[in-house]
Amino acid sequence: MSAAPLAGIRVADFSLRLPGPYATRLLCDLGAEVVKVETPRGDPIRGFLPGVYEFLNRGKQVRALDLKSEEGLAAAHELIAASDVVLEGFRPGVAARLGIGFEASAELRPGLIYCSLSGYGQNGPERDRPGHDIGYEASGGAYAGVLAIGDPPAPPHVAIGDLGGAIFAALSICAALVGRREEDAEASWIDVSMQDAVVHISATRWGRYLRDGVEPGPEDLASYAPGAGFFETADGHFVALASVEDEFWAGLCRALGRDELVATPYDTHPGRMEHRGELRAALAAAISLISVEELERRLQAEDVPVDRVRTAAEVCADPHLLERGIIRSLGDGLHLDFPALIGGQRPGVPGAVAR
């Protein structure tokens, strides 16, 4: 199997900032030729997320076009006519007003796959509302479990709305390409909402409501178990623990010398959740007296999951990730390849941003 399954596919990317460019970055990694169209002022993400612009757009060809000018719109139409896929990241209706909406694009390129990636989708009463990742997460149920257990919501550390929507966009485009036939002359329109993506992902935390109409309770919220979360060691490192299952909880307690915490009622997840606060405090106190290396040694001996909370430099120097090949050193810095191997090879983009 080729490590570049989208070789020969051309994508016109009319999106800025994070979601759309991340979707087309994935397509580019998989072998597609991506032409990213920016305004003459450039993509504003360069101003507030330094380095992320290069990460998102490596391997793409970037063109600056003023779509409000006759020359710029003509150039955009020429690009669309030569493309297999168009992705746009405007609010609903904006692409049409600029002259690159679905109807106009479908006339230019028979069989075109056209993807609109927006906050709330192309229809519905909130379609025109402005949005941002934290709002998609809040309104899409990402914090339903937090509310159910009584903890306050906290700002996200990774943009699951933006990136989840981007991944669903890339997945849907790939599926449409697989389903496309050479004789198909009718264009197809993919409508991806970042709020929809959050709802779909977040349901893994409140699936009980879908089945029974019941809000999640402590027994449903494994990620809020006393043995799951972040703890600080004696030498100031933070570790992530995930001792949710009974066997991991027992191993954790043995490693910390707290065998009494394995007895009833702490021997089952519901029992531990009923005493979540006191158990978590006991774990935190025990871990605070142990160095990170000693804690890792003890937990690994008990086959209990433990991971240090790493800095970016530590991630990029990790021997395991380097051997896996997702991180590479190129002439212009470090590069992250596609996060999967295809036929034993990791797809990736060799070149920098091309202008």
Per-residue pLDDT band for 179 (boundaries 50, 70, 90) equals confident
Question: Is it true that 10-202 and 225-308 share their CATH fold?
Answer: no
Q: What is the pLDDT of residues 280-325, one digit of tens each?
A: 999 999 999 999 999 999 999 999 999 999 999 999 999 999 999 8
Q: What pLDDT score does 223 carry? A: 76
Name the pairing type of β-strands 228-232 and 188-193.
unpaired
Note the CATH number of domain 225-308. Answer: 3.30.1540.10
Please give the mean pLDDT across all residues of the chain. 91
pTM exceeds cut of 0.85: yes
Q: What pLDDT score does 11 carry? A: 98
- Tokens representing 343 are 């036929």
| Superfamily, domain 10-202 | Crotonobetainyl-coa:carnitine coa-transferase; domain 1 (3.40.50.10540)
Query: CA 57 to CA 36: how far, in whole Å?
Result: 8
The domain locations on the chain are: 10-202, 225-308
Per-residue pLDDT band for 20 (boundaries 50, 70, 90) equals very high
- Edge-first strand listing for the sheet containing 10-14: 61-64, 33-38, 10-14, 85-88, 113-118, 188-193
Indicate whether 95 pLDDT > 90.
Answer: yes
Find the length of the chain: 355
Query: CA 10 to CA 32: how far, in whole Å?
Result: 6
Averaged pLDDT for residues 259-275: 93
Indicate whether 155 pLDDT > 70.
Answer: yes
| Cis-peptide into 130, omega within 30 deg | no
